[in-house]
Amino acid sequence: MSQSTKHVVDRFLRAMNDHDLDELISCFHEDYRSETPAHPERSFTGRAQVRANWVQLFETTPDLAVEFSRTMIDDDTAWIELRMHGTQTDEELDVRGVVIKGISGDRIQWGRIYLEPVQQSADVTWEAIYAGQEDG
């Protein structure tokens, strides 16, 4: 296991939970590439968009907490199973999934994001979620 990669992953988690925007942004390369394969329209390049995304998340979810339930590090790549939760504008936020982070030096160079909100109602089917309507 790469100690450098583990150090970046630990710093990344700590900055999210401390709501330390500057430290969080310092975890990313200027030309960070984010891919969201299940939602390609959410993909982007650049640390400025990382900042904009986290500013919005910290502002709308002041009690945001992040947990890494499992982490697998292979040289310069970290596979992280995570949960983000908190109260977002009077609604419960509960997002879970996997992120894969490519680390170069002491910063995150790229990421592949596989996160989805946890389904809150058993009455909603998989197809209805993607059609944007409830089954009932």
The domain that contains 18 carries what CATH number? 3.10.450.50
Is residue 50 in some structural domain?
yes
Instruction: Report pTM.
Output: 0.84
Count of domains observed in the chain: 1
Is residue 136 in some structural domain?
no
Is residue 116 in some structural domain?
yes
Domain that includes residue 46, residue range: 3-131
- In what side-by-side order are the strands of the sheet with 77-88? 44-45, 28-35, 107-117, 91-104, 77-88, 65-74
CA distance 101 to 79: 7
> What's the CA dihedral at 42, 102, 93, 85 to 10 degrees?
-170
Is residue 117 in some structural domain?
yes
54: left (phi over 0), alpha (psi -120 to 50) or beta: alpha
pLDDT tens by residue, 7-59: 999 999 999 999 999 999 999 999 999 999 999 999 999 999 999 999 999 99
pLDDT at 44: 97
